[in-house]
Amino acid sequence: MTLIDELGAWLADPTHWTGPDGMVTRLLEHVALSGACLGLAIAIALPIGLWIGHTGRGAAGVIRAANIGQALPTLGVIGIVLPLTANIEPYGFDLIPSIVALVALAIPPIVTNTYAGLRQVDPEAVEAGRGMGMRELQLLRLVEVPLALPSVLAGLRISAVQVVATATLAAVLGAGGLGRLIIDGIAQQDDAQLFMGAVLVAILAIATELAFAGLQRIAISPGLRGRVQAARGSAADV
């Protein structure tokens, strides 16, 4: 049987679409896991990036830590966390290690890009704001963040795409998500199932990339549009 025939037969089975282990369930699990991890990462990383970017305090250490964090293999992080949380019921064996690893993956790009964005802000603009009597938080909110937004959003975009792509690995521990179609497909030697899992993850990752590109286009002040390209070019190398 060729792959096309196998795919046709697999897709013709309605339980593969809407069953408890079907594509719809796995897709929703994937989106929920990725969204939760990205949200947690933003809650942790954005304040850190804003703080070191605004004050300059502790920046060198934080950026160095972020660079090392980026070198950590996700599977390694999952493995390191697993034995520590395995006995926590009911999620210690699958979800908690996956969440820790995905959040750890998503934090560095947000921190480094937020910091880089704030550092690029023209000091004269900040001085002008200060001269107008703005307080520190007002400076951050009204001057620095709008000017740094292209870089901040570039960081979010990198993190979001990486999290969506890497959330497939949660399936290694038996957690849900689209990775299950791939892992189960490999285990059951079911090429159609693993192929569909791969197609859906790839589409979801590319859709996330495009969605964040759209967000960048909408959210960034028209006067800064020319800088978006520059931010993209450098951020992708992080």
Which stretches of the chain bind another protein, using CB under 8 A?
3, 68, 70-80, 82-84, 86-87, 161, 164-166, 168-169, 172-173, 179, 182-183, 185-186, 191, 194-195, 197-199, 201-202, 205-206, 209, 237
Q: By C-beta, is 56 or 83 nearer to another protein? A: 83
Q: Measured in Å, how far apart are the chain's first and last C-alpha atoms?
A: 44
Residue 72: DSSP 8-state: S
**Three-state SS for 8?**
helix
Asked whether 78 and 37 are in contact (CB, 8 A), the reply is no
CB of 21 to another protein, least distance (A): 17
Q: Return the amino acid letter for 171.
A: A
CB of 83 to another protein, least distance (A): 4
Q: By C-beta, is 31 or 195 nearer to another protein? A: 195
Q: By C-beta, is 74 or 139 nearer to another protein? A: 74
CB of 135 to another protein, least distance (A): 35
Kindly report the number of other CB atoms within 10 A of residue 16's CB atom. Answer: 18
Q: By C-beta, is 42 or 183 nearer to another protein? A: 183
Q: By C-beta, is 50 or 163 nearer to another protein? A: 163
3-state secondary structure 121-147: CCHHHHHHHHHCCCCHHHHHHHHHHHH
CB of 161 to another protein, least distance (A): 7
Q: By C-beta, is 30 or 54 nearer to another protein? A: 30
From residue 126, alpha-carbon distances to 15, 113, 215, 220 in Å are: 59, 19, 26, 19
From residue 33, alpha-carbon distances to 36, 94, 95, 150 in Å are: 5, 12, 9, 26
CB of 145 to another protein, least distance (A): 25
CB of 229 to another protein, least distance (A): 13
Taking alpha carbons only, the member of 54, 167, 53 closest to residue 106 is 167
